[in-house]
Amino acid sequence: MVKKLIIQKFGGSSVANVKRVQNVARRVVRYKKKGFNLVVVVSALGDTTDELIELANQININPSEREMDMLLSTGEQISVALLAMAIHKLGVEAISFTGAQVGIITDAAHTRARIIKINTDKIQEALNKGKVVIVAGFQGVNLNQDITTLGRGGSDLTAVALAKELKADECEIYTDVKGIYTTDPRVEPLAKKIKAITYDEMLEMASLGAQVMQARSIEVAKKFNVPIHVRSSFKQDSGTMIIKEVKKMEEVVVSAITLNKGEAKITVCNVPDRPGIAAKIFNELADNEVSVDMIVQNVSHLRQTDISFTVSKNDAQKAIKTINRAKVAVGVKDVLEDSDIARISIVGVGMKSHPGVAGKMFEVLARNKINIEMISTSDISISCIVQKKFAEMAVRALHSKFGLSK
Amino acid sequence: MVKKLIIQKFGGSSVANVKRVQNVARRVVRYKKKGFNLVVVVSALGDTTDELIELANQININPSEREMDMLLSTGEQISVALLAMAIHKLGVEAISFTGAQVGIITDAAHTRARIIKINTDKIQEALNKGKVVIVAGFQGVNLNQDITTLGRGGSDLTAVALAKELKADECEIYTDVKGIYTTDPRVEPLAKKIKAITYDEMLEMASLGAQVMQARSIEVAKKFNVPIHVRSSFKQDSGTMIIKEVKKMEEVVVSAITLNKGEAKITVCNVPDRPGIAAKIFNELADNEVSVDMIVQNVSHLRQTDISFTVSKNDAQKAIKTINRAKVAVGVKDVLEDSDIARISIVGVGMKSHPGVAGKMFEVLARNKINIEMISTSDISISCIVQKKFAEMAVRALHSKFGLSK
């Protein structure tokens, strides 16, 4: 009988200290003894990555990306060695590999590399010998043998890519929450753990600010149909499955409510209503590496219009400076900023086939006397910008109205 | 004109913190601007290696050596990345490499691997582009792509091996002392920095406990005649050259006095004076991985004899237990231990051609009423075990008598 293969990925908080590394080792050994083949992907211990970044910045505020990858990749290398030792201590064979050793080949885009291919020979050989295979997450190697990293949350990508390449039966993402919730339980205590959610919904939630899993890794999981199980490394209960299609989906219109307070709204006033002006503004922003999220332009009166958009709060000042520099050329008068906003979104594949969801959302907000400042929609989500002080109230009202509190 | 190539090796204390890394970067850049080609070998920051060992021991007191190498090699990887960033900050091109990337191929003896060969292509290519090349010390990779380490002080070996392979004009070993001294200046304030010393003398001093440079690296330097310059990373003055032959050597009989308080003396009493008994005792010790240093056996009376030997204090208890276990088989009665001893040695290639050096040493000790408990000699050194309380007095008296205080 062929043994089932499980990929288990443990994030930084799951291996934040010696006790937690030992805890992970015990879980791995339990699964091994149940008869599974195991490939374990580990992130750097706790805040190691942030500490290394801080160290680098003390030396060079603008460090070479190649050297940054050389530096940061040590974090995961430490984790895999320690986890191997902890598993050995429990009497089970295990072997650790760096991304380079496993042969996670990436392009040369340091600090945000993309995986080109994975050579699974070394892993397969170790699995055949009955060993638990431990792989450093977040890292790879380019064709020039330089160490690369896959960007924030890259260990998720390592796990999903390995699951695909090794044709794993499941990919478990262990984290410090119990799974995906209908909304943040700190905002709405009635929030429920979701048993199963689709890749598309999870992707939407990630882009709306949910930080449970790296967005790119969900894209890859979707593309290759890798079933993902997001669950807690501190509990035994199962968490949330992320899969292609969730049964009985018809009845569920809205799966989750997200809240993002990390953005600022910028309004460019009295923009001349001529073709090419908006393009000019947003090209300038792109050239200055300001990443714009929602964009709303109102119907024009008197050949002038207002354009509002949201950016990450960190980028707000840069965005304003950029537009102020381009003001005369573009023919703009005033630029306003509002940081006291929040973005509330409802997410659900069900809304594709259920008309009237948007109207219902606006009605709930109106009934609570919450003014909507901007609206943006996608196939499976609707987002509203509201004043920050109303954010929690809005989440709770929507959570209840769309039947998630039951 | 071909540029001169210098290998510079900086130990852990030279890169113990951000300020010191920046200090090293300034020195490297100064040499680069003088027109030298530079390959810089770096150890782990300060106490990083000890901290990682401590972390491993918290998890597994007997960790796998392969995983230990995986863990420890991160220390140097951090150093090289940070040093590259610090050199970039000063506007000079630099590139860092791990041992594996450079192609420092070793055997598979984890934690004490031997270098088999070094592929210098990557280094040469980077040097040709005008870059400072930074190489992680202490580490290599075996033919199976596993990371290996070269043992304590292994960065010295990396530097010397690279100097040999790249045919460097000089190999500079930067450390926290100004060079090699005639004796420890903390014991004898009149101790002088030695301008030049031979490989053989340095090897002898290393085996007698001087910790300035790893013994294996000096052996390699001797074998391939690599000139070494031991000097301070905090001063500009030149330090001590370690070379094949020192001119005017004829006049100098004793080059240095060493002191080692790290050993214990063990005496096995009433050993039957039969062939094979000593072999039995020392084989037992070797089987239990007790490394024995000096051995003295007295002339036998009444078919019984005493055998004394010294071991590292750390191994003393293990040695006694081992002999006690073998007691009956060997026919031994008592085993005595004395930890309050010190080993005083005089070192100098000059003593080969100068008779009477030993007598002079014993005379100095006798005149100071210091009893000699054991004596051992090599080609270029004479060692005496004395009671620890007399150690410093003995060093000072010998330092003066052999003309080193002038």
Does the beta-carbon distance from B70 to A96 stay under 8 Å? yes
- Please name the residue of chain B whose CA is at the shortest distance from the CA of residue A145: B101
Going by C-alpha positions, the residue among B57, B368, B20, B343 that lies closest to residue B175 is B20
Each residue's pLDDT tens digit, A9-55: 999 999 999 999 999 999 999 999 999 999 999 999 999 999 999 99
A96: in domain: yes
- Residue B280 pLDDT more than 90? no
> Are B53 and B126 members of one domain?
yes
> Are B332 and B357 members of one domain?
no
Over range A349-363, report the average pLDDT: 87
| Non-local CB neighbours of B182 within 8 Å, separated by 6+ positions | B188, B191, B192, B194, B255, B256, B257, B399, B404
pLDDT band at A299, cuts 50/70/90? low
- The dihedrals phi and psi of B305, each to the nearest 5 degrees, come to -150, 165
Of A59, A82, A88, the CB nearest to B82: A59
Q: What is the pTM of this model?
A: 0.87
The predicted pLDDT at position B402 comes to 93
B87 neighbors B132 (Cβ within 8 angstroms): yes
B321 neighbors B296 (Cβ within 8 angstroms): no
- Please name the residue of chain B whose CA is at the shortest distance from the CA of residue A67: B81
pLDDT band at B12, cuts 50/70/90? very high
Sign of the Cα pseudo-torsion (A13, A17, A23, A29, in order): positive
Rounded to whole angstroms, the Cα distance separating A313 from B206 reads 60
Residue A238, burial from CB neighbour count under 10 angstroms (0-12, 13-18, 19+): middle
Asked if the C-beta of B400 comes within 8 angstroms of chain A's C-beta atoms, the answer is no
Over range A369-380, report the average pLDDT: 90
The DSSP secondary structure of A173-234, one letter per residue, reads EEESSSS-BSS-TTT-TT--B-SEEEHHHHHHHHHTT--SS-HHHHHHHHHHT--EEEEESS
The predicted pLDDT at position A300 comes to 65
Token look-up 């070094």 returns B118
**Among A26, A59, A145, which would you mutate to test the B interface (most chain B Cβ atoms within 10 Å of its Cβ)?**
A59
The predicted pLDDT at position A352 comes to 82
Nearest chain B CA: its distance from A250 CA (Å): 50
What CATH code is carried by the domain that includes residue B371?
A: 3.30.2130.10
The predicted pLDDT at position A109 comes to 94
> Are B307 and B158 members of one domain?
no
For residue B122, the Cα-to-chain-centroid distance in whole angstroms is 29
> Are B20 and B87 members of one domain?
yes
- The dihedrals phi and psi of B290, each to the nearest 5 degrees, come to -95, 120
Each residue's pLDDT tens digit, B55-72: 999 999 999 999 999 999
Of B55, B88, B145, the CB nearest to A64: B88
> Are B132 and B277 members of one domain?
no
What CATH code is carried by the domain that includes residue B277?
A: 3.30.70.260
> Are B378 and B297 members of one domain?
no
A303: left (phi over 0), alpha (psi -120 to 50) or beta: left
Nearest chain A CA: its distance from B313 CA (Å): 28
A39: in domain: yes
Of B21, B70, B145, the CB nearest to A80: B70
Going by C-alpha positions, the residue among A376, A382, A387 that lies closest to residue A398 is A382
Nearest chain A CA: its distance from B82 CA (Å): 6
- Residue A250 pLDDT more than 60? no
Of B63, B71, B95, the CB nearest to A78: B71
Does the beta-carbon distance from A82 to B56 stay under 8 Å? yes
pLDDT band at B269, cuts 50/70/90? confident
| Non-local CB neighbours of B314 within 8 Å, separated by 6+ positions | none
Looking at B338, B364, B389, the residue that finishes a domain is: B338
The predicted pLDDT at position A1 comes to 58
Looking at B128, B159, B176, the residue that finishes a domain is: B176
Q: Greater confidence, B133 or B325?
A: B133
B42 neighbors B76 (Cβ within 8 angstroms): yes
Rounded to whole angstroms, the Cα distance separating A282 from A268 reads 11
B341 neighbors B385 (Cβ within 8 angstroms): yes
Taking all residues of chain B, what is their mean pLDDT, rounded to a whole number?
92
- Residue B250 pLDDT more than 60? no
- Please name the residue of chain A whose CA is at the shortest distance from the CA of residue B93: A64
> Are B349 and B382 members of one domain?
yes
Looking at B338, B361, B389, the residue that finishes a domain is: B338
> Are B373 and B279 members of one domain?
no
> Are B388 and B282 members of one domain?
no
Each residue's pLDDT tens digit, A305-339: 888 899 999 899 999 999 988 888 777 888 999 99
pLDDT band at A192, cuts 50/70/90? very high
- Residue B38 pLDDT more than 80? yes
Using a CB-CB cut-off of 8 Å, the residues of chain B touching A58 are 18
Taking all residues of chain A, what is their mean pLDDT, rounded to a whole number?
92
Q: Chain B, 43-72: which have a CB under 8 Å from a chain A CB?
A: 52, 55-56, 58-60, 63-64, 66-68, 70-71
> Are B149 and B272 members of one domain?
no
Of B60, B85, B145, the CB nearest to A63: B85
Which tokens in the block code for residue A254?
């809205």
Using a CB-CB cut-off of 8 Å, the residues of chain A touching B85 are 56, 59-60, 63-64, 67, 71
Using a CB-CB cut-off of 8 Å, the residues of chain B touching A122 are 145
Over range B143-163, report the average pLDDT: 95
A142: in domain: yes
Using a CB-CB cut-off of 8 Å, the residues of chain A touching B73 are 77
Using a CB-CB cut-off of 8 Å, the residues of chain B touching A95 are 66
Each residue's pLDDT tens digit, A132-175: 999 999 999 999 999 999 998 899 999 999 999 999 999 999 99
B242: in domain: no
Output the CA–CA distances (angstroms, integers) from residue A79 to A159, A233, B56, B82, B205, in the order listed: 15, 16, 10, 20, 39
Is the predicted ipTM greater than 0.95, yes or no?
A: no
Domain that holds residue B33: 5-176
Of A56, A70, A81, the CB nearest to B71: A81
A76 neighbors A17 (Cβ within 8 angstroms): no
Q: Greater confidence, A131 or B247?
A: A131
Domain total of chain A: 1
The predicted pLDDT at position B23 comes to 96
Does the beta-carbon distance from B85 to A59 stay under 8 Å? yes
A97 neighbors A134 (Cβ within 8 angstroms): yes
- Please name the residue of chain A whose CA is at the shortest distance from the CA of residue B146: A101
What CATH code is carried by the domain that includes residue A69?
A: 3.40.1160.10
Does the beta-carbon distance from A95 to B68 stay under 8 Å? no
**Dihedral Cα A9, A12, A17, A20, nearest 10 deg:** -30
A119: in domain: yes
Each residue's pLDDT tens digit, B326-342: 888 777 888 999 999 99
Pairing between β-strand B263-272 and β-strand A5-10 as defined by DSSP bridges: unpaired
> Are B278 and B129 members of one domain?
no
pLDDT band at A77, cuts 50/70/90? very high
The predicted pLDDT at position B8 comes to 98
B241: in domain: no
Asked if the C-beta of A96 comes within 8 angstroms of chain B's C-beta atoms, the answer is yes
- Residue B24 pLDDT more than 90? yes
A358: in domain: no
> Are B61 and B148 members of one domain?
yes
The predicted pLDDT at position A248 comes to 63
A134: in domain: yes
Using a CB-CB cut-off of 8 Å, the residues of chain B touching A49 are none
Least reliable range by pLDDT among A191-205, A210-224, A284-298, B120-134: A284-298
Long-range pairs, A299-304, Cβ under 8 A, ≥24: A300/A273, A303/A272, A303/A273, A303/A274, A304/A270, A304/A271, A304/A272, A304/A273
Using a CB-CB cut-off of 8 Å, the residues of chain A touching B59 are 18, 21-22, 82, 85-86, 89
